Amino acid sequence: MNLTDKTYQELKTSLINILGHNGVVADSKGVEVLSRTNVPHRNIPSFVVYPQDASDVQGVLCMARKHGVPVWPVSTGKNWGYGSKSAAYPGGITMVLERMNRIIEINEELGTAIIEPGVTYAQLNTYLKENGIKLWVDSSGSTKDASIIGNALDKGRGVTPYADHFGSLCGMEVVLPDGRKIRTGGGPQDGYPSWNTYKWGTGLFVDGLFAQSNLGIVVQAGLWLMPEPEAYDFFVFEYTAGEDQFADFLKDFRSLIFKGVIKSRPHLANDFAMLCILDQYPNDLLNGKQYLDPEAMQIWKKRMKVPEWTFGCGLYGTKEEVRLHKSITKKTLSRYGSTHMTGICAEKNFMGRMANRIARLVLRLQGKSPQFLDSLIPAIELFKGIPTDHFVKQVYFKSFDQKPASEFEPARDGCGFVWIGPVVPFSPEHISKLMNLVKPLYKKHEFEFFLEIIIESPRSVISLFGLFYDKKSPDESRRAMALYKDIRDVAYKHGYPPYRASVESTQTALDCNPLLKSLITDLKTALDPNNILAPGRYGARARKRE
Amino acid sequence: MNLTDKTYQELKTSLINILGHNGVVADSKGVEVLSRTNVPHRNIPSFVVYPQDASDVQGVLCMARKHGVPVWPVSTGKNWGYGSKSAAYPGGITMVLERMNRIIEINEELGTAIIEPGVTYAQLNTYLKENGIKLWVDSSGSTKDASIIGNALDKGRGVTPYADHFGSLCGMEVVLPDGRKIRTGGGPQDGYPSWNTYKWGTGLFVDGLFAQSNLGIVVQAGLWLMPEPEAYDFFVFEYTAGEDQFADFLKDFRSLIFKGVIKSRPHLANDFAMLCILDQYPNDLLNGKQYLDPEAMQIWKKRMKVPEWTFGCGLYGTKEEVRLHKSITKKTLSRYGSTHMTGICAEKNFMGRMANRIARLVLRLQGKSPQFLDSLIPAIELFKGIPTDHFVKQVYFKSFDQKPASEFEPARDGCGFVWIGPVVPFSPEHISKLMNLVKPLYKKHEFEFFLEIIIESPRSVISLFGLFYDKKSPDESRRAMALYKDIRDVAYKHGYPPYRASVESTQTALDCNPLLKSLITDLKTALDPNNILAPGRYGARARKRE
């Protein structure tokens, strides 16, 4: 949308009145930098605003309603590869909630927290550690500076037994598009002791209305944290069996998860996905091509000693359970590859340091790269809820010559990558079907095939396809976009909708189900008739008035 | 509401046109019997109708809209003690979905089913067993003839690791008040393989709108079933420590659940709750009083060898896990009472029969009643997902001289009882606080104190208070109603809303949170502006048009 000069000036004055100069970015350079994305697509807003509390949120919404200018809320906007802080349209107000970052309450006994949307994994983890609270916060595999609530509301995933981030929210305080501030759960607005302990509440369960949606801005939420288990271990599995055994492997893997032997929610990374983490892009192997052909990939894989599939995995429980689960896991998986048990290496004591040295030595002798060894400790820690930026730096591996050592911001720095993660039943038939449909598309568009099979539950996986491209090259950007669209089309065509939409695809996210979309349109029309709150997000948009 | 003669006749003709004579009950005797309840309160409808499929449901709703007569849907209406088939108002159409009882699909590999709302625990369990499918269906502790979907939508509970019935639903087909039939989940309406494997779907999660609500009629739903574990055992725990140790016991109990040593969701029954199951009401001990005073209770408890608190509990896992969990449980709980491990007794082989005989002998020597022994096998089976009517017959224990051997229907037979289950954080302070607030109310109204602490999760319990009364006595009914209201008031006052409402209380279920109620009113107004679908259920009612 284009604001008239008058609206722009009036709105700017009002926003500054509410938030102060420090809370409003209106200059063209500022809004340009803040709306940068890793995906090929983005939109530049008129304003980026930073509320400090719920009443600021209400104030901004009030002005937005008055001027008819839409508000696109993000928590910290670090959903890199999905759209970051960019709205699905240009010219509106982008609301960044990162300054609302209070940890309001921790209940160690019941394993609950109440936090604001600006609270990050790193912040909560540090708070817990510094206060000696024996609870773990499950972290996304992306940056430690992402918002816990933001990721959960976008149905993001972690890797510990508390990997289901939306499922781990319990109790919300929400500002509705018309400014009402409600609390979900069905108990009294104040003085409701089970607000953060009982998810379903009394009466209809409305919390789901605020996930992947635009019906309200969550300004506080309850979160379940995992009590530190008595024992923990970690292993890396490398799949070395042939392709013909992959279906059996998936079935056995699933059975370990169904049984609770594996309570962790690992990501099964294909060769290229693993190489992105371990290495820089080997331009020397391109041979004049635009991408690494199968021969080049083979050379690279050999060079880095990377197998077809790799996953890391935590084990949790009493000492005896962890011992037992280790032995069952080893026995079950040894048919398909090798299992390196290395959990002890991250322990901060003499034994841990010794084990780490020995493990490095042994793995080095097995031919593992130094990068593999360097990834070990961050991985072990990630599976015990300690967030890390170690893995997310992979996104620099193609756009830049070197992964950054510290200070980094892939959106700002223009690293080109896109994620698309169709949801697939956890059965070899479905997983292979989609994989075989998508793989040729990468070849067609001249990219390397990237797949991480994210274990969602024993019943579903997310087949996360990644696209890395050079954002500075218009041709690569165009090809990346074309590949993205092809993957999306084929996934929808076969009934595998992505678990998460990007700024590019969000408006059409529900087009595959017009009847459901009509219900959601009804809800949006009832709660936000003038489309003030993030219109189009996940397909929800109020009907035009008759 | 009162229908005019003309409306009544026209509607009757239309309903018979859609459902046939066999599908419509309109005679006054018929509707009277079908609307009977166990609670003191009930309303008699104009019609009771039995759709056979979704298009029947749509047809009835269409006629209801045309004539402005509300429809109160129930699945099988066996929510005894909450209101059974009675609507919250008289004169409407009660829709019973029990004839929609198809088991549409079972996927053994992924542990999922698709069923209609008429499918009962007994029916699905029989189907699984007859077809050699190694999946368990978690059953409510009430009747085996209850609807699986109905119980789940009312947020009912079971006792196995799949006790969270609403949480175990995945994917719904719903007829909205205006007749649209939608599928939730965000994938295509047809051909969406993850419909029953991934709960949160794409875009906003709407399934919660159909739990404890009146925004739609669920005509099909996906259900997660538990894969049969490698090993199973069962124990009965009897709390014999003093009152001063109860807080420590609750903490240790909670810790076993947090750790997953106990994956089951047991009910901790107080003395009177246990006696209801084991015995008939001892009128001989009344001594001219209206209820059993503390002395009488002591005599009765001694007679039946019932301790202060009792619970049964399943253990699930690999053989080694079950062995390990048994030993941890025994060690932890032995401080507070005795643990009888008896899982083997229900095994249908020589060892099982032997063990059963030995256990009976041992328990008999310990002074256990024959009734205790008779309850053992049904309990062991219930915790492995085999439904039973053994326990629900307790509801006859006061209204009738004898519990029925077979054929029984507490609503029809007029057994007087009411449940109210406030949700309480799983902390000794909260549990004791509410217990101590409620206990004196029983004395005030001259009833015996009944409490089952239902383990909802490691974070919450449901303090289920039961009221048994003689429905034939107007005085007892009046006192029961007064006690119910007192419990409800005190629970709400201290922020413990009941997890489930009864026909008496449903209309005011959300009065404690006017802001949340206003949101729900918006939703109801958007989807059912003329209040055709169960107006008032869980407090949801469309706003009058301006």
- Average pLDDT over chain B reads 94
Q: Which residues from A are below 8 Å from B506, CB to CB?
A: none
Question: Is B111 in the A-facing interface, judged by CB distances under 8 Å?
Answer: yes
DSSP B44-89: --SEEE--SSHHHHHHHHHHHHHHT--EEEESS---TTTTTT--SS
H/E element holding B270? strand B267-270
Helical H segments across A237-318, by residue range: 246-258, 271-278, 294-304
pLDDT score recorded for residue B152: 98
For residue B356, the SS3 value is: helix
Q: Which residues from A are below 8 Å from B460, CB to CB?
A: 194, 197-198
Average pLDDT over residues B255-267: 97
Residue A352 has pLDDT above 90, yes or no: no
Contact state of B423 with A191 under an 8 Å Cβ cutoff: no
Interface confidence (ipTM) of the complex: 0.96
Token reading at B402: 């004898």
Among residues A139, A90, A86, A84, the alpha carbon closest in space to that of A417 is found at A84
- Contact call for residues A124 and A148 (beta carbons, < 8 A): yes
Question: Is A113 in the B-facing interface, judged by CB distances under 8 Å?
Answer: no
Strands (E), B442-486: 451-455, 460-469
Question: Is B181 in the A-facing interface, judged by CB distances under 8 Å?
Answer: yes
pLDDT score recorded for residue A353: 85
How much of chain A, in percent, has pLDDT values that exceed 70? 100
- In total, chain A counts a number of residues equal to 546
pLDDT score recorded for residue B502: 94
- Contact call for residues A202 and A86 (beta carbons, < 8 A): no
How confident is the model over A189-207, as pLDDT tens digits? 999 999 999 999 999 999 9
How confident is the model over A413-437, as pLDDT tens digits? 888 999 999 999 999 999 999 999 9
How confident is the model over A393-407, as pLDDT tens digits? 888 888 787 888 778
d(CA A435, CA A311): 18
What are the residues whose beta carbons fall under 8 Å from the beta carbon of A284, sequence distance 6 or more?
A: none
pLDDT score recorded for residue A546: 62
Residue B302 has pLDDT above 80, yes or no: yes
d(CA A140, CA A147): 10
pLDDT score recorded for residue A507: 96
CA distance B202 to chain A (A): 6
d(CA B497, CA B507): 14
Question: Is B184 in the A-facing interface, judged by CB distances under 8 Å?
Answer: yes
Average pLDDT over residues B385-391: 91
Of A343-352, B78-87, B333-342, B457-466, least confident by mean pLDDT is A343-352
Among residues B45, B46, B44, B43, the alpha carbon closest in space to that of B12 is found at B46
- Contact call for residues B250 and A307 (beta carbons, < 8 A): no
Which amino acid appears at position A279 of this protein?
D
Helical H segments across A119-203, by residue range: 121-130, 148-153
Among residues B278, B518, B46, B477, the alpha carbon closest in space to that of A206 is found at B518
pLDDT score recorded for residue B546: 62
Radius of gyration of chain B (CA): 23
Residue A376: which pLDDT band, with cuts at 50, 70 and 90?
confident
**DSSP class of residue A387?**
-
Q: Which residues from B are below 8 Å from A210, CB to CB?
A: 204
Average pLDDT over residues B388-400: 85
Contact state of A204 with B192 under an 8 Å Cβ cutoff: no
Strands (E), A408-478: 416-420, 423-425, 451-455, 460-469
d(CA A266, CA A309): 12
SS3 content of chain A, % helix, strand, coil (to 5): 40, 20, 40
User: Which chain B residues in 403-462 lie under 8 Å from chain A, judged by CB atoms?
Assistant: 423-427, 430, 456-460
| Closest residue in B to A525 (Cα–Cα) | B526
Of A350-359, A527-536, B18-27, B171-180, least confident by mean pLDDT is A350-359
Residue B399 has pLDDT above 80, yes or no: no
How confident is the model over A429-464, as pLDDT tens digits? 999 999 999 999 999 999 999 999 999 999 999 999
What are the residues whose beta carbons fall under 8 Å from the beta carbon of B87, sequence distance 6 or more?
A: B35, B43, B45, B70, B72, B94, B503, B534
Residue A62, judged by CB atoms within 10 A of its CB (0-12, 13-18, 19+), counts as middle
Residue A311 has pLDDT above 70, yes or no: yes
Token reading at A469: 């491209």
Contact state of B523 with A520 under an 8 Å Cβ cutoff: no
- Interior CA angle at B172 toward B169 and B173, to 5°? 155
Residue A342 has pLDDT above 90, yes or no: no
Average pLDDT over residues A267-276: 96
Query: Residue B152 — φ and ψ, nearest 5°?
Result: -65, -40
- Three-state DSSP string of B90-140: CCCEEEECCCCCCEEEEECCCCEEEECCCCEHHHHHHHHHHCCCCEECCCE
How much of chain A, in percent, has pLDDT values that exceed 90? 84
Question: Is B319 in the A-facing interface, judged by CB distances under 8 Å?
Answer: no
Q: Which residues from A are below 8 Å from B224, CB to CB?
A: 459
SS3 content of chain B, % helix, strand, coil (to 5): 40, 20, 40
d(CA B520, CA A346): 49
Residue A174: which pLDDT band, with cuts at 50, 70 and 90?
very high
Contact state of A515 with B183 under an 8 Å Cβ cutoff: yes
d(CA B61, CA A70): 38
Query: Residue A480 — φ and ψ, nearest 5°?
Result: -60, -45
CA distance A306 to chain B (A): 31
- Contact call for residues B313 and B328 (beta carbons, < 8 A): no
Average pLDDT over residues A31-55: 95
Cα separation of the two ends of chain B: 22
- Interior CA angle at B5 toward B1 and B11, to 5°? 80
pLDDT score recorded for residue B376: 87
CA distance B5 to chain A (A): 35
Most distant CA atoms of chain A, gap in Å: 73
Contacts 24+ apart (CB under 8 A), B397-402: B397/B276, B397/B279, B397/B280, B397/B281, B397/B468, B398/B276, B398/B281, B398/B468, B398/B469, B398/B470, B399/B468, B399/B469, B399/B470, B399/B471, B399/B472, B401/B280, B402/B280
| Closest residue in B to A498 (Cα–Cα) | B202
Question: Is A192 in the B-facing interface, judged by CB distances under 8 Å?
Answer: yes
For residue A289, the SS3 value is: coil
d(CA A296, CA A315): 36
d(CA A335, CA A252): 10
Question: Is A516 in the B-facing interface, judged by CB distances under 8 Å?
Answer: yes
d(CA A422, CA B202): 10
Q: Which residues from B are below 8 Å from A176, CB to CB?
A: 519
Among residues B107, B57, B63, the alpha carbon closest in space to that of B218 is found at B57
What are the residues whose beta carbons fall under 8 Å from the beta carbon of A525, sequence distance 6 or more?
A: A542, A543, B526
Query: Residue B533 — φ and ψ, nearest 5°?
Result: -100, 105
| Closest residue in A to B527 (Cα–Cα) | A522
Among residues A307, A293, A164, A171, the alpha carbon closest in space to that of A239 is found at A307
What are the residues whose beta carbons fall under 8 Å from the beta carbon of A104, sequence distance 6 or more?
A: A113, A114, A115, A116, A220
CA distance A86 to chain B (A): 18
**DSSP class of residue A545?**
P
Among residues B122, B62, B81, B134, the alpha carbon closest in space to that of B98 is found at B122
H/E element holding B317? strand B309-317
- Contact call for residues B452 and B417 (beta carbons, < 8 A): no
Among residues B187, B228, B371, B352, the alpha carbon closest in space to that of A423 is found at B187
Cβ-nearest to B109 among A167, A212, A427? A427
pLDDT score recorded for residue B341: 85
pLDDT score recorded for residue A339: 92
Q: Which residues from B are below 8 Å from A260, CB to CB?
A: 260, 263, 317
- Contact call for residues A61 and A108 (beta carbons, < 8 A): no
Strands (E), B407-487: 416-420, 423-425, 451-455, 460-469
Question: Is B231 in the A-facing interface, judged by CB distances under 8 Å?
Answer: no
* Look-up of token digits 């890396």: A236
pLDDT score recorded for residue B273: 95
